[in-house]
A = this chain, B = another copy of it.
Amino acid sequence: MPMPQVPFDDRGLAYGDGVFETVLLRDGTPVLWDYHYARLRQGCQRLNIPLPPLEQLAAAWQSPAAAELEVLKLILTRGSGGRGYALPDALSPRLISRRVPFVANAQHWRQGVNVRICQLRLGHQPLLAGIKHLNRLENVLARQEWDDQTIAEGLLADTDGWLVEATSMNVFWQRNGELFTPELTQCGVAGTLRAALLDQGTVRESAIALDALRDVDRLWVANSVQGVWPVNTLLSETGEVLHAWSQADQDTLQVAGHQLLGYSLSSC
C-alpha cells in the first residue's frame, strides 16, 4: 500500500492545523478506541474541524491484520486552503492513516527504565492543552536533549515548574499508597491510557513540582501503545542521579494499565 501524501496547501503541513491519534491494534481491533475517539472529538471541537463519520475512521483498520500487534496512526487535518490563517470557505478535512507492526518492549515493563528531566519548559496554552494536535515542536526539541540509549524518556515541566508529562508518555507517581497523574489544563497531551485509569479510579489528578519528584514512593511513565514502564532512576537535566527506586513485587499501576491494554508479562 503506497504511503498517503498531502499537498503543499494542506493546513496540517502549513500550520500543524489538525490532530492525530496513535492507536494500538490487537488482532486488527483498536484498543481503548472509545478513548481515542473521545479525544479526537474533543480536538476537533477545540480547533473547529468537522469530525469525520465513525465509518470513515473505522475504514483505517478494516483490512486484515499484518501482525498480532500493530500501531495505527490517524492524521486528520483541516484540509487544503484558506488565505493565510483565515479558514477556507469550503472546509474539507483530510483523513490519512498508516499501520505498522509493533512489538512492545517487555524488558522495560519488567526491569524498569531511567528517565531524565528536560531543560525545556512547556508554555501555557489552555486552548490546546490535553488534545493531540499537530503542533509538537516542544516535544521534538525536548527529545533532542539526549541521545543516551539508556535513558528511555524525558520528563517535562511547565514554565512554573510543575510536572506535566514525558515527551511521548504520561507520568504517574505513588505517595502514601495512592496513585496520581498531573492535571493537564495548561499544556500536555491527555493520553488515552491515562484517561481510562482515571475513569476506573485507579489514579487521580494532582499537582507535583519537579523538585518534589525525588520524594515520591514510585514513579512511572506510560501510554496506550508502550504500556507502563516503572522508573528506576531519575536523572537531572545535567545527568546527575536525583533518586533511584527499587521495584516492589506488586505493581498496581502496571497491572491495571496492562489489563486495559491486554498486555500480560508472561505473553511477551
* Residues of A that sit less than 8 Å from B by CB: 3-17, 20, 47-48, 73, 75, 77, 84-87, 96, 98, 120, 122-125, 127-128, 133-144, 159, 167-168, 187
Name 5 interchain pairs, CB-CB below 8 A, sorted by A.
A15-B137, A47-B141, A84-B167, A123-B187, A127-B141
User: In the bound complex, what is the Cα–Cα distance between A4 and B10 (angstroms)?
Assistant: 11
Return chain B residues, CB-CB under 8 Å to A127: 120, 138, 141
Return chain B residues, CB-CB under 8 Å to A120: 127
User: In the bound complex, what is the Cα–Cα distance between A143 and B86 (angstroms)?
Assistant: 6
User: In the bound complex, what is the Cα–Cα distance between A22 and B166 (angstroms)?
Assistant: 34
B159/A17 in contact, CB under 8 A: no
B3/A5 in contact, CB under 8 A: no
User: In the bound complex, what is the Cα–Cα distance between A17 and B14 (angstroms)?
Assistant: 11
B140/A17 in contact, CB under 8 A: yes
A136/B15 in contact, CB under 8 A: yes
Return chain B residues, CB-CB under 8 Å to A11: 140
Which of B13, B17, B143 lies in contact with A137, CB distance below 8 A?
A: B17
User: In the bound complex, what is the Cα–Cα distance between A7 and B3 (angstroms)?
Assistant: 6
A144/B84 in contact, CB under 8 A: no
User: In the bound complex, what is the Cα–Cα distance between A17 and B96 (angstroms)?
Assistant: 18
Which of B15, B77, B128, B143 lies in contact with A134, CB distance below 8 A?
A: B15
Return chain B residues, CB-CB under 8 Å to A96: 8
